[in-house]
Amino acid sequence: MLEAMAALLLIGALSAVAIPGMVRWLAYWELRAAAERLTADLRECQSRAEAEGVFYELRFWRTRPDYMVYRGVEHVRTVDNKPGIAYATGILPLPDTHLRFNPRGTGIQGGTIWLCNRFGDRMGARIYPDSGVVIFLGP
């Protein structure tokens, strides 16, 4: 019985050390997945705008963790970020921001959208307005 209690104590001590690291690791990879999805959605909007000859845009709000994809004025879909993923403060110039691609596939305005997790890690995407190039901003 003493050996079983010692084993349980050892397992408890190892768990106390491993679980916080695992929580941080999981939050990092959730943030990375959200930033990569955002980058992929921006690139898809860019290529669809050019291929279909219509405006595409992503709409963001400071107070909501999701964003919406529009084809012209038609709502295509809403992308929900996981709990704990938010927009980093100070990056969206207005209460709401729209990143839009014209029918030539170039951005109407450029910008950077940063996502952050509860540990302060930041990743995001940037659009260059003249060329419409979209890049992933990772660690």
| Closest residue by Cα to residue 59 from 34, 77, 84, 44 | 77
pLDDT tens-digit profile of 88-138? 754 555 555 788 888 988 887 778 888 999 998 999 998 888 888 899 998
Give the least confident one: 7-11, 75-79, 85-89, 131-135: 85-89
DSSP-assigned beta bridge partners for residue 86: 116
Q: Is the pLDDT of residue 85 over 80?
A: yes
Q: Which residues contact 11 (CB under 8 A, 6 or more apart)?
A: none
Tokens 């405006």, residue?
55
pLDDT tens sequence across 28-66: 999 999 999 999 999 999 999 999 999 998 988 777 778
Q: Which domains does the chain have, with CATH numbers?
A: 1-137 (3.55.40.10)
**What's the predicted TM-score (pTM) here?**
0.82
